[in-house]
Structure 1
Amino acid sequence: MVALLPSCSSTKHVPDGKYLLDDVSLRILDEQNETSEVSTYDLANYLRQTENHKVLGGLKLQLAFYNLSGKDSTKWFNRWVQRVGTPPVIYDSTLTDASVSQLSMALTNKGYMNNHVTSDVRTNAKKKKVSVTYNIRLNEPYYVRNITYDVPNDTIRKIILADTTLYPIRQNSVFDHNNLEKEREFITETLRNNGYFAFNKEYITFFADTAAGSRAVDLTLNTRPPRTLAHIPEYKSHRPFYVRSVTFVTNYNPVTMQDGKYSGKQMEYNGINFIYDENDIYLRRSPLYECCYITPGEMYDASNVTKTYKALGRFSILKFVNIITNPVGEIDGRMYVDTYILLQRDKSQSVSFAVEGTNSEGDLGFGVGVNYQHRNIFKGSEVLSAKFNTHYESISGDVGGLINDNYSEYSGELGIVYPKFKAPFLKHSFKQRIKATTELTTSFSYQARPEYTRIIAGAGWKYVWSERQNQTHHTFNLVDLNYVSLPKSKSHFLDSISNPLLRYSYEDHFIMRLGYSFYHTNKREISPLSKALQQNFYTIRASAETAGNVLYGISKLIGQSKGDEDSYKVFGIRYSQYVKMQADYAFTHNFSDRTSLAMHVGAGVAIPYGNSSVVPFEKRFYAGGANSVRGWGVRTLGPGSFATRNSQNSFIYQCGDIRFDASIEFRSKLFWVIEGAAFVDAGNIWTIRDYADQPGGVFKFGKFYEQLALAYGVGLRMNFTYFLVRLDMGMKAHDPASGQEHWPMFSPNFKRDSEFHFSVGYPF
């Protein structure tokens, strides 16, 4: 079907006498546009009619798919094809005129009041196609010469002038009408954060004065007196408000209100009022108090309302939160408000079952699991969760070996999440500053592979918190314990590991680590107040962890002697000591809402020291797979120029202590939920020491770049908004392995060089 798409006539469904809108372009004629704040990318949003979407250099794939359909709408195939594709855009001259008007109006609002916009329409009657070019001449913009503030209220004037560098309007800036609205909103927010509860942006006006023949604008900001409020007759001038009382209504139900009052049992805790349903006291007062940033007696601050919303948003037991602030008038010369925090509870407990397909870097499998959750175990919205899962996995995508007990895992986890920073001896003010959740977990995993059986038991205590509209996330692992035991190993498996350092990775060991991870993105959430498309955004991920230092210090302090293996032990088990750091950066440039270019670079290093001579296997890096260099399967690349022995146990040698990855990927929406991609990957792993069983694997500054593996390929994705499924095909371009064809891209062999990856989510 795909092969037929280009051959379909693009005007198949264009009625006689009508024309297909074949191409739309914008052209800015001013030479000085390079220094202006106007781009055709932004102006395209104001067009009332655009052509059908193009991909792959001009192919209208969705239109071509639509044109595969016949005109008989009673046939299901025609209906399905038309629903998946997009119909031809029929040229409408009235929409072209409207686009000219919209473009001119938008430029006027941006300060280019002398702009001139025309349309050039070219018709090809024989092909039934029309092309439209919008010619835009910006001319010189108007600019703000001076800005003054006419604010009679001295207190408000002082607040406004405290720091004008944050305001959108600046001297000598382009006179952009959009910035006037932004400044009104910014000043209003600032005043409401400083007590002026009744202030709104309608009280701020601007007066623009321009001399004839001049592009200079003298701007004056004015504040108007407040409107008369019927319920507060004494409010005749802008005045700050103070908080008289704060009341939590934990079982809010508008039906049960009596004479506008909330019914229930009333209590008081540290100056905060609580109204409970006596038959359902599901939340303790102290957790709610710790989430309340609104304090009786203090000046009203709108930002504290927002903080309270966010803090209560971490309470899983709550399905509804609403904060109402009511002005109560003047008391002893001050204006006051009462605040009511209205809550409704959600279900406390739930049980869920899941059957899922898994893809661990290209290793296909499936699993079943059961999850029990109690969202309010200690009446503080603490979430208790218990999970049990069983998974079967096929190594390296070998679906034929999927149902095999040798490739299985059984795991369980018990955890509790506190919606606050949980630690002893902390003050209330500190807990409010650190908006973190606390997670305590214990886990157990039984893994059976052809080579060995492994048991992993773990426990952890960590803090998770976010900031800046959830654009920055932190995770701090205060302590993370892992005991790894290999009670059963095939004799030939351990015998095949002649290197004692690598052999250690597959023997019993204990890890006590401390770690921190950081995530930041400038990608904004889509909202009615923001543009639907952000042209550029990036993400940064970084983490660092260290293990064994406390135990090593204790061993030294008590004078513990080392055993035959020249290492200290705890409870008869060797413990690991290492440091591991890694960072990743990804950048995406959106050409439109349908095409983008994404880039990624990442690196990491893990160094054993003290009580360890090698990093544990599960903490080492590997290369290849769906999120690495996609010309190789998972754990089949590296380290360095090391060449695999093509044995069943070869994966144990293909891990390292240093990693580097880089990728560039072009993404385009094709039709329906289908997306296409073309990519180039580079990367490898290396060891920090020259191990005899991994020849060519050690990292050397003067040689590592020669050992970078290169791959290229294409992919198809199905984007269902909430999740994305992808199938990538990678081809080897440069193979650093010794004894292999180093540049297979010049003599490709599909069977030898190709690798398919099925995964969920974008690779970066």
Structure 2
Amino acid sequence: MGKTFHTYCKYLFVSGLSSVALSCSNTKYLREGQMLYTGAEVKIVNDTISKKEKKDLQSALEANLTPKPNSTFLGLRPKLYFYNIAKEPKKDKGFNYWLKYKVGEKPVLLGDVDREFNKDIIENYSENKGYFNARATYDTVSKNKKAHVIYTVKPGARYMIEGVKFQKDSTLVNQEIQNLTPKTLLKNGRPFDLDVIKTERERIDNGLKERGFYYFHPDNIIVQADSTVNKNHKVELNVKLKDNTPDLATQQFSIDKVIVFPNYNIQDVKDGKYSIPMDKDSLSKYAFDDMYVIDPQHKFKPKIFDRALYFKKGDLYNRSNHNLTLNRLISLGVFKFVKNEFIVADSLSHQFDAYYLLTPRQIQSLRLEALGRTNSANYAGSELNLNWTHRNFFRGAEQFKAAIYGAFDFQMGGPKDANNIFRGGTNVQLSIPRIVAPFRFHSSSEFVPRTNITLGYEFQNRTKYYTLNNFTGSFGYIWKENARKEHELKVIDITLVSPQKVTAAYDSISKINPAMGRIVQKQLIFGPTYSYTYTNTMLPRTNTFYYKGTLDLAGNITGLVTGANAKKDKQKEIFGIPFSQYVKIENDLRFYHKFTEKSSLATRVIAGIAYPYGNSEFIPFSKQFFSGGSNSIRAFRARTLGPGSFDPRTLKEGAYFDQSGDIKLEFNAEYRANLYKFLNAAVFVDAGNIWLINNDKDRPGAKFSKDFLNEIAVGAGVGLRLDFSILILRLDLAMPLRVPYYEKGDRWAFDKINFGDPSWRKDNLILNIAIGYPF
């Protein structure tokens, strides 16, 4: 104990000495007379405001001071140190340049600080926050070639609002402003705040934009403050239009003509005029309802613009419909550029014409993709895809996609009886930009709702084992409430699995492990599925979330009507094929925390359950949960983890692939940091497992029980990510820390780690190569 304490004290002494040395080493590079600027402090001298107001004012003032001192880490300035030790590079590239100017940070000197300027900033900011009598002084404290500045502020009492007047007159714009006053941000008893006044001007402007005042601007409003009417630190506000407000800004505009150019090209405009005359007689042949669609070649059905455009003839202009229309035109997916112009048609009647200038994307495209891949299950392979896309299939912005693909995967190592996999197939999808249904569906979202129809076929051959034919089809809808909330409902989602050939070798495996036999059984799965997605990860926030919940209902009504009960009777069939009946729920929740612009924490929790009943004793293999692999628990090879504490080593060699379960719990945490430009690093921990709902005598320990926490697998590792913008290449090296099929009390694997043992490295260090982030 004494020796350990002595060693600990020596470590602290050496660490402290190193810190002091590193800190001092930065000042030795300064020239005579130079002083390192270490920051500024603001002191508030005032007895009339609360502690919270003092703290808020102090934080705001310190945030506005310039320049910022050199960055610190644990009291040290490592970036400044790297700048100092690196030699001046001869060229703008190379290691020295990278170390000095990319990793390093130029010293911030006291001479760089304009203290008078900062003093003015402090006084001006304080006045803007209602401290009209604010006065500031400063003092510089220096020692050992370091200096910091102390600013002392005497803000005086804060002025509060007492009386807000919205000046009235007989103009239409003033009447509309009066209608907006009930929701004013300027309230009696609140502090005077210039930022709130600016926000109030923008609020009024937004309200007027919704009422037809297209040319209005926040600068047309002035808020006058009078602090002389009351000597008790009160201020009266008078909100009015500026005297020099342009006449055009006070006029309320409505829509006259709506004109759409769906094949717009810059060459169509010469000397500011369109090649097609804009008089009503010339436009009449392009009329559709209350709009004109200039499409001589009839490439687009006018009906799609009737659904997308929220402006009609005679409508009062409002900004919401303006933005909504532009976003819906973009979300059609057929236009590359969308431009909008409003041109005054009649200044006396205050009307203008709305022009929509739409540049189409390439209508058809053909793409050939060749992919190479490897996974943690010792497979490597290649895939070839030929994709054809038509973005205006029936001239109504329908997107039709067709693909033909072929792929093979071969075993690079692992079990000696392993086999290769060949896949080939085709799929088609038709996406219609509206809800096709016997009921009326109205969406005021900026995203166009879609009806999706898909058909697919895949031939799969696992050599030495079996051949399968997979048929899929679906019909459903996808719509967004807004940019954050998305719904997808597949009214019908059908999967038909038909085995073509099963070898004797695979039959022998199925006898040992009946769960493997269910892979090659005839399966008919049909029913509705629904998923809801919420995300705000696109927002510039410190904390963001992503959630996706999925509900899958298969064969429920059919099973109820037929009275199916697979536990008592033979399974009911449709066209000679047993149909599946189950309920499956899956939740995926992610949380992202941004520490800095170059570092963040990403976490994910997955929880799912699939419950078979009625016509099914088991969940179809293709609908079960799996664990392990590059996007799951990376310390275990794909589909080899679980279920529960079942030990795959007890199976016959070559027969333990594709372990599946009915329940899944998983947690992932990953710290991400940018090292240099496109090079990113990560440190991660994964935990979780899968379980069965029912007992399986051939897989002891697989059933979910109250002891499930004891069966959680844990893995950890490090990764590199090469972010090339168009794709992210990910390399993750992971190792297991807790193995659920080890003996109880011996499942943590820390004592088994042996990097020097080649056999241990081969079995425990798992390299995952993938495209994109895992979550």
* Per-residue deviation, 1:696: 1.5
- Asked if residue 605 in structure 1 is aligned to residue 630 in structure 2, the reply is no
Corresponding pairs, count: 726
1:436 is matched with which residue?
Answer: 449
Partner of 1:350: 365
Alignment of 1:199-348 (within 5 A): 199-210=216-227, 217-224=235-242, 227-229=245-247, 238-257=250-269, 261-264=273-276, 266=283, 267-276=286-295, 278=296, 280-329=297-346, 334-348=349-363
Cα distance, 1:586–1:115 mapped onto 2, change above 3 Å: farther
User: For residues 672-711 of structure 1, what are the structure 2 equivalents within 5 Å?
Assistant: 672-700=677-705, 702-711=706-715
* Alignment-derived partner of residue 13 in structure 2: none
Deviation for aligned residue 1:285? 0.8
Matched, 1:460 2:477: no
1:73 alignment counterpart:
90
Secondary structure of 2:480 counterpart = strand
Match runs of 1:351-500 below 5 Å: 351-358=366-373, 365-393=381-409, 398=412, 406-424=420-438, 426=440, 435-450=448-463, 451-468=465-482, 470-498=483-511
C-alpha separation in 1, matches of 2:683 and 2:53:
31
For residues 110 and 523 of structure 1, the distance between their equivalents in structure 2, rounded to whole angstroms, comes to 34
Partner Cα distance (2:221, 2:200) in 1:
9
Q: Which moved more, 1:26-35 or 1:336-345?
A: 26-35
CA distance in 2, matches of 1:400, 1:707: 25
Which structure has the bigger radius of gyration?
2
Shift of 1:192: 1.1
Distance 1:381 1:210, change over 3 A: same
Q: 1:607 to 1:169 in 2, by over 3 A?
A: farther
The aligned residue for residue 646 of structure 2 is 642
Matched, 1:760 2:771: yes
CA distance in 1, matches of 2:154, 2:462: 69
What is the rounded CA distance, in whole Å, between the counterparts of 1:484 and 1:523 in structure 2? 38
Q: Structure 1 256/676 Cα, relative in aligned 2: closer, same or farther at 3 Å? A: closer
Distance 1:330 1:51 in 2: 58
Residue among 534, 546, 568 paired with 2:541:
534
Alpha-carbon contact 2:405-2:425 (below 8 Å) kept: yes
Give the CA deviation at 1:260. 5.3
Aligned to 2:680, the other structure's residue is in SS state strand
CA–CA distance in 2 between the matches of 1:594 and 1:141?
Answer: 42
Partner of 1:736: 740
1:519 maps onto 2:537 in alignment: no
Tell me which moved more, 36-45 or 508-517: 36-45
Shift of 1:435: 2.9
Q: Which moved more, 1:744-753 or 1:578-587?
A: 744-753
Could you say which residue in structure 1 is the equivalent of 2:279? none
Shift of 1:112: 7.3
Residue range with higher mean Cα deviation, 292-301 or 709-718? 709-718
- State the alpha-carbon separation in 2 of the partners of residues 82 and 137 from structure 1: 40
Amino acid at match of 1:690: N
Structure 1 residues 490, 597: closer, same or farther in 2, change over 3 A? same
Alpha-carbon distance, 1:602 to partner? 2.4
Q: Point out where structure 2 has 5 or more consecutive residues left out of the alignment.
A: 1-18, 45-49, 277-281
- Aligned positions of 1:653-672 closer than 5 A: 654-672=659-677
* Cα distance change on mapping 1:564 and 1:435 into 2, 3 Å: same
| 2:541 maps to amino acid | Q
User: How far apart in 2 are the matches of 1:512 and 1:382?
Assistant: 26
| Bigger mean CA offset, 304-313 vs 573-582 | 573-582
User: Structure 1: which amino acid aligns with 2:684?
Assistant: F
SS at match of 1:247: strand
CA 1:164 to 1:87, structure 2 compared with 1: closer, same or farther past 3 Å?
Answer: same
CA distance in 1, matches of 2:739, 2:137: 55
Distance between the aligned counterparts of 1:410 and 1:69, measured in 2? 56
Partner residue, 1:104: 122
Pairwise CA distance, 1:63: 7.5
8 Å CA contact 1:100, 1:134 repeated in 2: no
Q: What's the offset of the Cα at 1:296?
A: 0.9
Once residues 768 and 619 of structure 2 are traced to their aligned partners in structure 1, the CA distance between those partners, rounded to angstroms, is 28
Residue deviations 1:34-68, cap 9 Å, x none? 996579699658654453686x996847985x889
Letter of the 1:201 counterpart: P
Report the AA paired with residue 520 of structure 1: Y
Whichever residue aligns with residue 248 of structure 1, its letter is V
- Identify if the C-alpha distance between structure 1 residues 254 and 704 changes in structure 2 by more than 3 Å, giving closer, same or farther: closer
How far the C-alpha of 1:309 sits from its partner, in A, is: 0.5
Name the CA shift for 1:67/1:424 in 2 (closer, same or farther; >3 Å).
farther
Cα deviation, residue 604, structure 1: 1.1
Find the aligned partners of 1:480 and 1:618 in 2 and give their Cα distance. 13
- Confirm or deny: 8 A CA contact 2:410 2:420 kept in the other structure: no
CA change 1:47–1:564 in 2 (3 A) is same
Q: Distance in 2 between matches of 1:110 and 1:632?
A: 59
How far apart, CA to CA, are the structure 2 residues paired with 1:506 and 1:42?
70
Give the fraction of aligned pairs with identical amino acids, expressed as a percent: 25
| 8 Å CA contact 2:72, 2:78 repeated in 1 | yes
Give the deviation of 1:321 after TM superposition.
1.6
Distance 2:387 2:453 in 1: 17
Pair 1:198 & 2:215 matched:
yes
Distance 1:182 1:69 in 2: 48
Task: For 1:721 and 1:187, locate their aligned partners in 2 and report how far apart those are by CA, in whole Å.
Answer: 41
Question: Is the Cα contact below 8 Å between 2:110 and 2:147 reproduced in 1?
Answer: no
For 1:651 and 1:115, how far apart are their aligned partners in 2? 76
Is structure 2 residue 186 aligned with structure 1 residue 179? no
Q: 2:589 aligns with which of 585, 591, 596?
A: 585
User: Is the CA contact 1:405–1:448 (under 8 Å) kept in the aligned structure 2?
Assistant: no
Shift of 1:536: 1.8
Task: Sort the Cα spacing of 1:321 and 1:139 in 2 relative to 1 into closer, same or farther, 3 A.
Answer: same
Which residue of structure 2 aligns with residue 51 of structure 1? 70
What CA distance in whole angstroms lies between the structure 2 residues aligned with 1:19 and 1:602? Answer: 60
Q: Which amino acid aligns with 2:466?
A: Y
RMSD: 4.3
Structure 1, gaps ≥5 residues long: 1-5, 230-234, 526-532
Shift of 1:79: 7.2
Contact preservation (8 Å) 1:290, 1:431: no
Equivalent residue runs for 1:143-162 within 5 Å: 144-146=160-162, 148-152=164-168
The answer as to whether partners of 1:421 and 1:435 remain within 8 angstroms in 2 is no
Post-superposition Cα deviations, 1:665-711, rounded to whole Å, max 9, x if no partner, equal 332223333333333332222211122122222222x3222222233
Q: Judging changes above 3 Å, is the alpha-carbon distance between structure 1 residues 546 and 19 closer, same or farther for their aligned structure 2 residues?
A: farther
The secondary structure found in structure 2 opposite 1:591 is strand
